[in-house]
Amino acid sequence: MATELQPSSIHPSPRSVSQPNKLSIARFLLGLVLLAFASTFVVMIPPGHQGILLTLGKMQKPLLGEGLHLILPVVNTVEILNTRVQKREIEAEASSKDLQDVFTDVALNWHLIPGAVDQVFAQVGNQEQVVDHIIDPAIEEVLKAVLAKYTAEKIITKRDQVKREVDTVLINRLENYHIAIDDLSLVHIHFSKGFREAVEAKQIAEQEAKQAEFIAQKAVKQAEAMVNLAKGEAEAQRLIKATLTPEILQKRAIEKWNGNLSLMVGDKNHKFLDLKQIIPAKP
């Protein structure tokens, strides 16, 4: 006798299908929880950084280098500081020796000295606190101290010297906080509108004065040239007069005579040339 198959024996119930899926999801979530829990036992220090290990808030030695490190959750925490070269741009205001307002755009490349980040953290704090409490105030104070030694004109004409002095003073100041300077640039130095207008007016006046001086010098040179020309002509006349002997005069008169000249050259009181003495009488 044939046995009739029930529909439930051919097609599994939806409840039996969903059970394996729920089990997979549960295993996946459990794996994530375990992974998250395990990650609390390690810390990763990225390249160009150093870590400071804190045990219940107290700094420990040595510093943590790049890579993975084991820690105890809750008991240990790690403060990571960047030792790469970083750039800081700031606009600082100061006064010159002649009390002109000076506005300077400064670009500073700096880095924390490796091996001393724990001292930086102990003295100052984290990276943001280093910038806000040490670097920015140092730039402003050093610029004010250095620019106060120079007049506004000297700040412009001796910009390289000003930059070197700011470099030296700032390096010495930040060394105390284990901060090294890689490069300092005074990107732009500008003054108040009134000062710029005064400088422009002075430049125009100097150009006009130079032009007037050039014209005066030109007139003097022209006058000297005319005097020298007159002296030369007078000297030439003197030399000609000194070399004109009676024989030369007779020779020149004969060369220019066309046969119609008077036989006597001169007046009744002064006879310069008597051609009768030169030209023989006809027989």
The string of DSSP letters for 50-70 reads EEEEEETTEE-SS-B-SEEEE
Pairing of strands 86-95, 101-112: antiparallel
The domain locations on the chain are 21-82, 86-196, 246-277
Tokens of 90: 């700031």
Residue 1 is predicted with a pLDDT of 45
Question: Among candidates 153, 151, 124, 121, which has minimal Cα distance to 136?
Answer: 124
DSSP 154: H
Give the residues of the chain that fall short of pLDDT 70: 1-20, 37-38, 196, 198-200, 203-204, 208, 244, 246-283
86-196 domain in CATH 3.30.479.30?
A: yes
Tokens of 1: 């006798």
Rounded to 5 degrees, what angle do the CA atoms 148, 150, 155 make?
A: 115
Tokens of 184: 């300092």
8 A C-beta contact, residue 111 and residue 81: no
99-139 pLDDT, tens digit each: 889 999 999 999 999 989 999 999 999 999 999 999 999 99
8 A C-beta contact, residue 53 and residue 78: yes
Tokens of 37: 């829990």
Give the global pTM.
0.60
136-168 pLDDT, tens digit each: 999 999 999 999 999 988 998 899 999 999 999
Residue 44 is predicted with a pLDDT of 92
Residue 215 is predicted with a pLDDT of 80
Helix (H, G, I), strand (E, B) or coil at 201: helix
